[in-house]
Amino acid sequence: MQIFDSIKKMQEWSLQARKQGKSIGLVPTMGYLHDGHLSLVQAARRNCDLVVVSIFVNPLQFGQGEDFEDYPRDLSRDTDLLADAGVDAVFAPAAREMYPAGFSSSVEVSGEITRKMCGISRPGHFKGVTTVCTKLFHACMPDKAFFGQKDAQQLLIIKKMVRELNFPLEIIRVPIVREHDGLALSSRNVYLDAGQRQEALALNKALSQAKEQIAGGERDIARLKDRISGIITASPQAEIDYIEIVNGEDLSELEAVDGIVLIAVAVKFGKTRLIDNLLVEV
Ligand code: AMP
């Protein structure tokens, strides 16, 4: 497995691979890998000849007072896991390689899709995400890039950017991987103490119950949100950031549950902010 920290070297490797007719699958990550990331790697291996995983904790997507400094990092553990998983190349640039002094460009998707949900609580976050993904796509030149449904809003924003700006690649959605008890895997789960870890199960429980209620015929969004809120606030440390039930393809508002629907929550437990979601089709 090759490890690159230079954009130029990464591009040379990708160009060479493409010249040989090999397809490249990219899995962008911020590292501290878990089985959720590895399921993206497996999807990339199934779909492409070569797999590149990028590991970059992107300063542009963290706001003031967020956890950029504390974000867990362990590059040697990550590269061991990726070598075992059969990855062909890792792209792990330093921040100064991605953003040299004087860097002042950005790529931004505007409109309702970026203005709601995490766009409200994390101003500038998605602009940081679309800017770094643009740079990662240019460095790694993938035919397909794999993103987790865990970050549902991010996935839809990147799909929109790729479509509207004619990036020559396809975005592939990979389902959420959960712990045996239902907690969605996240690099941030390491921040939770034992009590918070237990309380965080309320997210999946609330989403699953909403899904059951929809299956049972419930279509009223306010009532569904109330019940989700009731389940989550039963956990004493939970502080709800948002509960949204929106169109699952473009995040637009719905009058009632209909079509492909995304139920998404963001909840803080102490300093740790967790997100989770569920797609339902009626
Ligand atoms: P991150 O390292 O948190 O930026 O995540 C990198 C990629 O892994 C993103 O596309 C995430 O959506 C995806 N991902 C994170 N957690 C999970 C999970 N539990 N299941 C599936 N994909 C995930």
CATH number of the domain enclosing 46: 3.40.50.620
Enclosing H/E stretch for 229: helix 221-233
Last residue of a domain, one of 136, 152, 174: 174
Are 170 and 193 found together in one domain? no
Q: Is 34 a catalytic residue?
A: no
* Contact 153 CB / ligand 1 (< 6 Å): no
Q: What is the mean pLDDT of residues 258-265?
A: 98
Cβ contacts of 206 within 8 Å, gap of 6 or more: 227, 228, 231, 232, 265
Are 117 and 208 found together in one domain? no
Are 167 and 191 found together in one domain? no
Q: How far is CA 97 from CA 93, 130, 234, in A?
A: 6, 17, 46
Q: What is the mean pLDDT of residues 247-252?
A: 98
* Residues linked to residue 171 through DSSP beta bridges, in sequence order: 145
* Residues linked to residue 261 through DSSP beta bridges, in sequence order: 247, 280
At 265, which CATH number? 3.30.1300.10
Q: What is the mean pLDDT of residues 197-215?
A: 98
Structural domain including 208 reads: 187-281
Angle at 194 between CA 61 and CA 265, to 5 degrees: 45
Are 191 and 166 found together in one domain? no
What one-letter code names the amino acid at 240? I
Last residue of a domain, one of 116, 151, 174: 174
Closest ligand 1 atom, residue 177 Cα: 20
* pLDDT the model gives residue 40: 98
Q: How far is CA 47 from CA 118, 142, 186, 244, in A?
A: 30, 12, 24, 32
- Residue 91 forms part of a structural domain: yes
CA distance 21 to 29: 25
* pLDDT the model gives residue 232: 98
Out of 60, 136, 151, mutate this one to test ligand 1's pocket (max ligand atoms within 8 Å of CB): namely 151
Q: What is the mean pLDDT of residues 15-43?
A: 98
* Contact 186 CB / ligand 1 (< 6 Å): yes
State the distance from the centre of ligand 1 to the C-alpha of 102, rounded, in angstroms. 30
Are 267 and 161 found together in one domain? no
| pLDDT band with cut points at 50, 70 and 90 for residue 221 | very high
| pLDDT band with cut points at 50, 70 and 90 for residue 110 | very high
DSSP 188: G
* Contact 130 CB / ligand 1 (< 6 Å): no
State the distance from the centre of ligand 1 to the C-alpha of 251, rounded, in angstroms. 19
State the distance from the centre of ligand 1 to the C-alpha of 41, rounded, in angstroms. 11
Condensed to tens digits (0 to 9), the pLDDT of residues 236-249 reads 999 999 999 999 99
| pLDDT band with cut points at 50, 70 and 90 for residue 210 | very high
| pLDDT cut 90: percent of the chain above it | 100
- Residue 180 forms part of a structural domain: no
Cβ contacts of 148 within 8 Å, gap of 6 or more: 36, 37, 39, 40, 155, 173, 174, 175, 176, 177
| pLDDT cut 70: percent of the chain above it | 100
Out of 26, 29, 67, 272, mutate this one to test ligand 1's pocket (max ligand atoms within 8 Å of CB): namely 29
* Contact 148 CB / ligand 1 (< 6 Å): yes
Are 67 and 138 found together in one domain? yes
